Amino acid sequence: MTVGSVSPATARPRRPWYKDLSIQILVAMLLGCVAGYLWPENADSFRPLGDLFIRLVRMIVAPIIFCTVVHGIASVGEAKRVGRVAIKALIYFEIVTTIALVLGLVLVNVWAPGVGMNVDPTTLEDSEVVGVERSTRPVGYGEFLLSLVPTSAVGAFAEGDVLPVLFFSLMFGFALLALGDKGKPMVDAIHSVSQVLFKMIAFAMYVAPIGAFGAIAFTVGRFGPQSLLALGNLVLMFYVLCALFVLGVLWPIAWAFGINMLRLVRYIGAELMIVVGTSSSESVFPRLHAKLRQLGVDPPVVALVLPTGYAFNHDGTCLYFSSVAVFLAQAVGLDLTIGQQLGLLAILLATSKGGAGVAGSAIVVLASTLAATNTIPVAAVGLILGVHRLLSSAFVPVNVLGNAIATLAIARMEGALDVPRFEAELRRQVGTEVPVDLAS
């Protein structure tokens, strides 16, 4: 399939607004808020709807990463280009996530949402905190390197961790590339398997509004509207922090690479709303992969950059790690020096990558970081258990938007973006949007 093999956006027929997935998800989330508020006693009954949708998509994410990465490497035709794209992507990811960590530290020190709380961490020893503490483990560069290599190929897919699957896929892809023409039948077979997997995802997206409804209804029912007020200063600060990062970091990057971010946000609006409701970036990986290809990005570049971004480029999560860690220190009355905060930043540079392979692990990785610093009591994590879901509803969309912009930026650097098609897709009116052909 050639990059420019789609008809112009203007030729697409107008669709009824109610068939637009983003509209359906928005309505479902509003209904979920109402249901959670009216029937809070049924909160636990709503939760399986959201969890089932996440599990439905997550079940296919590891095979999709394998197929797209392997096919992407084999389709490039030369190992040199794969290495060049990977190096550019990793440098980009490291720079942007470091900026996110620094920005989080700066704002939490200026805003100081935890100052004056004077919480005794020994009062926070409940069963949930104990569960988090038992899940923590020191994460260093040595352990991070070990986590790259799965103990077995089957185990990597069974556990669904991104990093081991990505490592195995890269090795398999380079081996297939080295075979040359002998490996072409397998390349074609893997491409066919990926089309089947994307078609499965297309079926799963029909229940996305139900999943968003269940996830939001559970959050509102379990924690109640008062959860917006409890620790409200932290929640407000974090939402402002995410907005500052999008406007002050992602927007200039997008502008520098000729990307209209407002149009991009509208284009992937359904995916952003799904992750707001589900707090799971994996739930939109296949659809985001398809949309980036539909935007005119060379498929091998999407196949290489996007999965790597899911493993290494967690912009929003880095905002969460740095700001919430310092907030907890403030809340328990610890006055961290600049040196201690820089030390915390250095550890976060490792732990933010080391936890990338574990879906939904932000709060566990945060606790690991606190354990590694041995300065902030791990039990202080209990302070944010009630509002963690509200925080993740902000940082997960930032992760998704950041990875979309990163893929487009790397494609621009590589000259691997069909610019006329890209501009035509972004200018398409909402009413003329057609379902994404995930299997193309």
The enclosing domain of 377 has a CATH number of 1.10.3860.10
* Encoded amino acid at 154, one letter: V
- Model confidence at 254, pLDDT cuts 50, 70, 90, reads very high
d(CA 182, CA 344): 50
- Model confidence at 356, pLDDT cuts 50, 70, 90, reads very low
Whole-model pTM over 0.85? no
Strands (E), 270-414: none
Q: Which residues contact 73 (CB under 8 A, 6 or more apart)?
A: 82, 170, 173, 174, 176, 177, 300, 303, 304
Query: Could you tell me if residue 439 is inside a domain?
Result: no
Query: Could you tell me if residue 148 is inside a domain?
Result: yes
Q: Which two three-digit tokens encode residue 427?
A: 């200018």
- Model confidence at 252, pLDDT cuts 50, 70, 90, reads very high
Average the pLDDT over each of 105-114, 186-195, 211-220 and give the range with the smallest value: 211-220
pLDDT at residue number 174: 82
pLDDT at residue number 130: 46
Query: Could you tell me if residue 64 is inside a domain?
Result: yes
CB distance 29 to 210 below 8 Å: no
CB distance 416 to 257 below 8 Å: no
d(CA 431, CA 413): 32
- Model confidence at 79, pLDDT cuts 50, 70, 90, reads low
pLDDT at residue number 16: 67
Which 3 state secondary structure label does DSSP give 418?
Answer: coil
Give one DSSP letter per residue of 385-414, joined into a string: TTTHHHHHHHHHHHHHHHHHHHHHHHHHHH
Domain of 192, in residue numbers: 16-430
pLDDT at residue number 110: 92
Tell the residue number behind the tokens 């009116």, with chain if given. Answer: 429
Average pLDDT over residues 211-237: 72
Query: Could you tell me if residue 379 is inside a domain?
Result: yes
pLDDT at residue number 133: 47
Q: Shortest CA distance to 170 belongs to which of 289, 60, 66?
A: 66
Q: Which two three-digit tokens encode residue 11?
A: 């030729």
Average pLDDT over residues 328-345: 82
Q: Which residue has the higher pLDDT, 246 or 185?
A: 246
Query: Could you tell me if residue 8 is inside a domain?
Result: no
Number of domains in the chain: 1
Query: Could you tell me if residue 435 is inside a domain?
Result: no
Whether residue 24 is predicted with pLDDT greater than 70 in this model: the reply is yes
d(CA 436, CA 440): 9
Mean pLDDT across the chain: 77
Query: Could you tell me if residue 256 is inside a domain?
Result: yes
Query: Could you tell me if residue 400 is inside a domain?
Result: yes
